[in-house]
A = this chain, B = another copy of it.
Amino acid sequence: MLLIKNGTVVTAADFHRADVLIEGEHIKAIGHDLSAPGAEVIDARGQFVLPGGIDPHVHLDMPFMGTSSSDNYETGTLAALHGGTTTVIDFVLQTQGKSLRHALEAWQGRMNGNLYGDLSFHMAVTDFNDGTRKEVKEMIEQEGITSFKTFMAYKGALMIDDRQMVGLMQEVKQHGGMVIVHATNGDMIDYLVQKHRSEGKLSPLYHYLSQPEITEAEASHRFADMASYTGVPAYIVHLTCEGALNAVRDAARRGQRVLAETCIQYLLLDASLYEREDGAKWVMSPPLREKKDQTQLWAGIEQGSLQVVATDHCPFTWEKKLLGKDDFSKIPNGHPAIEHRMELLFSEGVNKKRISVNKFVEVTATNPAKIFGMFPKKGTIGIGSDADIILLDPNEKHTLSAKTHHMNVDYSSYEGRELTGKVKTTILRGQVAVHNGEVRIKKGYGKFVKRNKVSGML
């Protein structure tokens, strides 16, 4: 038994001074003056006691562009725990021409036995045909994989066309799943990439200029239209810009709710970084945007139009990034973020009074759990829920750096940035996993999480 005393317990709804009692893997009680003979006691005075973060958008050990993302299941989930994220959702990517099952087995092979933190899978459907149609139900009901990722970009590799999209949506809806999407117009982007390359425009800035806002706004509108027609629960990943947010708002006008996630970097960083010599560090898709987009994304969170803040964690070492030093299109897409989402959002969001601490919990934990079918097991500090809890000191200052972070990558996207608010203790299913930087669990402690059917309602 574990007893957390005197902290300020926060959920998506509540905020109170209380003790939290944990028995085994679960939360047993919350209250004043709780006592439990024999329980290990953690003093949380002056700290926020928060649900462990859920990052529903990470790519671990993922084969991509001739290499693999540099964090594997071990280093990635451990770095997440250091930063207060107890559960992540990773993406299985179907190979076009092969089955979903085939991909799932490959991903399970890399994942099994290697987890520190808990993890679940989205299934990326890159080839929807009569074969894969049959696997949808099986994934939902047998594997607990209830969210199906689609790509409207990366033609020839990951992209499905609108015909497959509508077909997939109708199938997924029927069985209680959700369709999630990387919404950018792959055709337009392919064209612009080739155009820029043929003109000798090869620096990282052209990565940005090959994916203008309109490519994302367009695809987001289109996805919303198809979701409206089919009625499937729908979710846009890594939404970055005003144009795409307006697609969500336009859908609202006809009574539709399209769920959407942004990522921490789109709230805090902007495209001016692409003009730096080391701009490749931030080459990701979609790219960073403008200041006006940041303003709109913060507003979207407050307005409830963006429900989740994730990371799209997909790190590559600087050496790998240099594969594209002469051609932006060869830079592996992605950047490291899994470790610092919680602290960044707390420091920039809560401490700077852009969002309430309830909203912080909502977008980092409760909403991801509810949207993706893990609630109330995950995502809150509730009686009977998994005791996934972090203690965060709201006032401690610290500085982000590749020298001190735990992700397996040799640069930080936020090198030298000073934050206020630090995760001191991370508890996963009742076990102190990390405390003051010390790891107290072993590889393999993390579990795969089967998820429930979803409704798209919050």
User: A39: CB under 8 A from chain B?
Assistant: no
Residue-wise interface mask of A (279-317) relative to B, using a CB-CB cutoff of 8 A (1 in contact, 0 not): 000000000000000011001001111000000000000
User: A265: CB under 8 A from chain B?
Assistant: no
A14:B16 contact, CB within 8 angstroms: no
When chains A and B are docked, how far (Å) is the Cα of A405 from the Cα of B32?
Answer: 39
User: A166: CB under 8 A from chain B?
Assistant: yes
Contacts of A337 in B (CB 8 A): none
Contacts of A375 in B (CB 8 A): 15
When chains A and B are docked, how far (Å) is the Cα of A33 from the Cα of B366?
Answer: 25
User: A257: CB under 8 A from chain B?
Assistant: yes
When chains A and B are docked, how far (Å) is the Cα of A234 from the Cα of B385?
Answer: 36
| One of B30, B218, B226, B304 near A383 (C-beta < 8 A) | B30
User: A85: CB under 8 A from chain B?
Assistant: no
Place the interface of chain A in its size category: 35 or more
User: A190: CB under 8 A from chain B?
Assistant: yes
Residue-wise interface mask of A (339-377) relative to B, using a CB-CB cutoff of 8 A (1 in contact, 0 not): 000000000000000011011011000100000000110
User: A65: CB under 8 A from chain B?
Assistant: no
User: A253: CB under 8 A from chain B?
Assistant: yes
User: A221: CB under 8 A from chain B?
Assistant: yes
B30:A31 contact, CB within 8 angstroms: yes
A229:B252 contact, CB within 8 angstroms: no
User: A418: CB under 8 A from chain B?
Assistant: no
Contacts A221-B221, A359-B457, A359-B458 known; 6 new A-B pairs at CB < 8 A: A11-B11, A29-B34, A30-B30, A162-B185, A166-B192, A218-B221
The 3 closest A-B pairs by CB, nearest first: A29-B31, A304-B304, A162-B187
A-B contact pairs, 9 of them (CB 8 A): A11-B13, A11-B14, A29-B29, A29-B34, A31-B31, A166-B187, A188-B229, A252-B299, A255-B295
